[in-house]
Amino acid sequence: HHLDIFGDKIKAKAAADEAKVPGIPGTNGAVDIDGALEFAKTYGYPVMIKAALGGGGRGMRVARNDAEMHDGYARAKSEAIGAFGSGEIYVEKYIENPKHIEVQVIGDQHGNVIHLFERDCSFQRRHQKMIEEAPCHILKKDVRQHLFEDALKACRHVGYNSVGTIEFLLDKHGNYYFMEMNTRIQVEHPITEMICGV
Protein backbone atom coordinates (compact mmCIF):
# COMPACT_ATOMS: atom_id res chain seq x y z
CA HIS A 1 0.00 0.00 0.00
CA HIS A 2 2.72 2.49 0.99
CA LEU A 3 4.88 1.44 -1.93
CA ASP A 4 1.91 1.99 -4.21
CA ILE A 5 1.32 5.52 -2.87
CA PHE A 6 4.88 6.75 -2.46
CA GLY A 7 6.36 4.84 -5.40
CA ASP A 8 4.17 6.88 -7.75
CA LYS A 9 5.14 10.55 -7.53
CA ILE A 10 1.66 11.79 -8.52
CA LYS A 11 -0.01 9.72 -5.76
CA ALA A 12 2.70 10.77 -3.30
CA LYS A 13 2.07 14.47 -3.99
CA ALA A 14 -1.68 13.91 -3.54
CA ALA A 15 -1.08 12.17 -0.17
CA ALA A 16 1.18 15.03 0.99
CA ASP A 17 -1.47 17.56 -0.08
CA GLU A 18 -4.13 15.69 1.91
CA ALA A 19 -1.82 15.74 4.95
CA LYS A 20 -1.43 19.53 4.49
CA VAL A 21 2.31 19.26 3.83
CA PRO A 22 3.48 22.07 1.52
CA GLY A 23 4.26 20.87 -1.99
CA ILE A 24 5.64 22.42 -5.14
CA PRO A 25 2.79 23.80 -7.30
CA GLY A 26 2.19 21.17 -9.98
CA THR A 27 -0.42 19.71 -12.31
CA ASN A 28 -3.21 17.72 -10.73
CA GLY A 29 -2.08 14.34 -12.04
CA ALA A 30 -0.72 13.41 -15.46
CA VAL A 31 -1.20 15.85 -18.33
CA ASP A 32 -0.88 15.90 -22.10
CA ILE A 33 1.20 18.59 -23.83
CA ASP A 34 -1.75 21.03 -23.86
CA GLY A 35 -2.22 20.63 -20.11
CA ALA A 36 1.51 21.16 -19.62
CA LEU A 37 1.46 24.39 -21.66
CA GLU A 38 -1.63 25.59 -19.80
CA PHE A 39 0.15 25.04 -16.45
CA ALA A 40 3.18 27.05 -17.63
CA LYS A 41 0.88 29.86 -18.75
CA THR A 42 -0.68 30.02 -15.28
CA TYR A 43 2.43 29.62 -13.12
CA GLY A 44 5.11 30.94 -15.46
CA TYR A 45 8.39 29.41 -16.60
CA PRO A 46 10.70 27.75 -15.68
CA VAL A 47 8.90 24.46 -15.08
CA MET A 48 10.08 20.90 -14.52
CA ILE A 49 8.66 18.13 -16.72
CA LYS A 50 8.65 14.79 -14.86
CA ALA A 51 7.75 11.16 -15.48
CA ALA A 52 5.25 9.89 -12.88
CA LEU A 53 7.25 6.70 -12.36
CA GLY A 54 10.62 8.35 -12.92
CA GLY A 55 13.68 8.15 -10.73
CA GLY A 56 17.44 8.46 -10.76
CA GLY A 57 17.25 11.70 -12.72
CA ARG A 58 15.63 10.02 -15.73
CA GLY A 59 12.44 11.29 -17.36
CA MET A 60 13.11 14.87 -16.17
CA ARG A 61 13.48 18.05 -18.21
CA VAL A 62 13.49 21.78 -17.39
CA ALA A 63 11.60 24.04 -19.80
CA ARG A 64 12.02 27.82 -19.89
CA ASN A 65 9.66 28.58 -22.80
CA ASP A 66 7.02 26.94 -25.02
CA ALA A 67 9.55 25.56 -27.53
CA GLU A 68 11.53 23.88 -24.74
CA MET A 69 8.26 22.55 -23.31
CA HIS A 70 7.33 20.81 -26.60
CA ASP A 71 10.80 19.33 -26.97
CA GLY A 72 11.25 18.41 -23.28
CA TYR A 73 7.79 16.84 -23.00
CA ALA A 74 8.39 14.58 -26.00
CA ARG A 75 11.85 13.55 -24.75
CA ALA A 76 10.74 12.93 -21.15
CA LYS A 77 7.80 10.84 -22.39
CA SER A 78 9.87 8.60 -24.66
CA GLU A 79 12.58 8.26 -22.01
CA ALA A 80 9.93 7.29 -19.42
CA ILE A 81 8.32 4.71 -21.70
CA GLY A 82 11.74 3.16 -22.38
CA ALA A 83 12.93 3.17 -18.77
CA PHE A 84 9.76 2.71 -16.74
CA GLY A 85 7.14 1.36 -19.16
CA SER A 86 4.83 4.33 -18.54
CA GLY A 87 4.62 7.60 -20.43
CA GLU A 88 2.63 9.44 -17.74
CA ILE A 89 4.01 12.96 -17.38
CA TYR A 90 3.28 15.72 -14.90
CA VAL A 91 4.64 19.25 -14.63
CA GLU A 92 5.61 21.40 -11.66
CA LYS A 93 7.11 24.79 -10.96
CA TYR A 94 10.91 24.63 -11.14
CA ILE A 95 12.61 25.89 -7.96
CA GLU A 96 15.85 27.62 -8.95
CA ASN A 97 19.01 26.56 -7.07
CA PRO A 98 17.28 24.88 -4.13
CA LYS A 99 18.82 23.09 -1.20
CA HIS A 100 17.87 19.43 -1.32
CA ILE A 101 17.02 18.28 2.21
CA GLU A 102 15.95 14.78 3.19
CA VAL A 103 14.50 13.59 6.51
CA GLN A 104 15.05 10.01 7.67
CA VAL A 105 11.88 8.50 9.19
CA ILE A 106 10.92 5.23 10.86
CA GLY A 107 7.36 4.11 11.60
CA ASP A 108 5.87 1.05 13.29
CA GLN A 109 2.54 -0.77 13.01
CA HIS A 110 1.18 0.99 16.12
CA GLY A 111 1.13 4.41 14.48
CA ASN A 112 4.38 5.68 16.02
CA VAL A 113 6.65 7.60 13.64
CA ILE A 114 9.96 9.25 14.50
CA HIS A 115 12.54 11.17 12.51
CA LEU A 116 16.30 10.73 12.69
CA PHE A 117 17.10 14.29 11.59
CA GLU A 118 18.01 15.64 8.17
CA ARG A 119 20.69 15.31 5.53
CA ASP A 120 21.68 18.03 3.06
CA CYS A 121 22.21 16.39 -0.32
CA SER A 122 22.38 19.48 -2.52
CA PHE A 123 25.74 18.57 -4.05
CA GLN A 124 24.57 16.67 -7.13
CA ARG A 125 25.58 15.79 -10.65
CA ARG A 126 22.83 15.02 -13.20
CA HIS A 127 20.25 14.87 -10.39
CA GLN A 128 22.32 12.20 -8.60
CA LYS A 129 23.61 12.94 -5.09
CA MET A 130 27.39 13.00 -4.77
CA ILE A 131 28.04 14.24 -1.21
CA GLU A 132 25.67 14.52 1.75
CA GLU A 133 26.18 16.24 5.06
CA ALA A 134 24.32 16.44 8.34
CA PRO A 135 23.07 18.65 9.78
CA CYS A 136 22.16 21.15 7.05
CA HIS A 137 24.03 24.23 8.27
CA ILE A 138 21.77 26.85 6.66
CA LEU A 139 18.49 25.53 8.11
CA LYS A 140 17.07 27.94 10.68
CA LYS A 141 15.98 26.28 13.93
CA ASP A 142 12.24 26.95 13.50
CA VAL A 143 12.26 25.90 9.82
CA ARG A 144 14.05 22.66 10.77
CA GLN A 145 11.37 21.93 13.38
CA HIS A 146 8.52 22.54 10.92
CA LEU A 147 10.30 20.37 8.36
CA PHE A 148 10.46 17.45 10.81
CA GLU A 149 6.83 17.93 11.84
CA ASP A 150 5.66 17.91 8.23
CA ALA A 151 7.70 14.80 7.42
CA LEU A 152 6.07 12.98 10.33
CA LYS A 153 2.63 14.34 9.42
CA ALA A 154 2.90 12.83 5.92
CA CYS A 155 3.89 9.45 7.39
CA ARG A 156 1.12 9.43 9.99
CA HIS A 157 -1.43 10.33 7.32
CA VAL A 158 -0.84 7.03 5.49
CA GLY A 159 0.02 4.96 8.59
CA TYR A 160 3.59 4.42 7.39
CA ASN A 161 5.27 1.49 9.15
CA SER A 162 8.78 1.06 7.80
CA VAL A 163 11.98 3.02 7.27
CA GLY A 164 11.88 5.74 4.67
CA THR A 165 13.21 9.09 3.56
CA ILE A 166 11.11 12.16 2.81
CA GLU A 167 12.73 14.62 0.43
CA PHE A 168 12.13 18.38 0.43
CA LEU A 169 13.38 21.29 -1.66
CA LEU A 170 14.30 24.44 0.25
CA ASP A 171 14.29 27.71 -1.69
CA LYS A 172 16.39 30.80 -1.00
CA HIS A 173 13.55 32.37 1.01
CA GLY A 174 13.44 29.51 3.52
CA ASN A 175 10.26 27.97 2.07
CA TYR A 176 10.34 24.20 1.70
CA TYR A 177 8.29 21.86 -0.46
CA PHE A 178 7.61 18.12 -0.30
CA MET A 179 9.20 16.47 -3.32
CA GLU A 180 8.99 12.71 -2.89
CA MET A 181 9.49 9.79 -0.55
CA ASN A 182 11.80 6.80 -0.78
CA THR A 183 10.05 3.85 0.87
CA ARG A 184 13.23 1.97 1.75
CA ILE A 185 16.66 2.31 3.24
CA GLN A 186 18.74 4.50 0.93
CA VAL A 187 22.42 4.09 0.18
CA GLU A 188 23.01 7.17 2.39
CA HIS A 189 21.82 5.44 5.56
CA PRO A 190 25.32 5.31 7.17
CA ILE A 191 25.14 9.11 7.55
CA THR A 192 22.09 8.76 9.80
CA GLU A 193 23.81 5.94 11.69
CA MET A 194 26.85 8.14 12.27
CA ILE A 195 24.89 11.12 13.60
CA CYS A 196 22.35 9.13 15.63
CA GLY A 197 24.01 5.88 16.56
CA VAL A 198 20.84 4.12 15.35
Instruction: Report which of 127, 116, 186 is spatially closest to residue 151, judged by C-alpha positions.
Output: 116
Among the listed residues 61, 64, 119, 184, the single catalytic one is: 184
Max Cα–Cα distance, the chain, nearest Å: 51
End-to-end CA distance of the chain: 26
Question: 3-state DSSP helix/strand/coil percent for the chain, to nearest 5?
Answer: 35, 35, 30
Is the distance from CB of 164 to CB of 145 less than 8 angstroms? no
Reply yes or no on whether 156 is catalytic: no
Residues designated as active site: 184
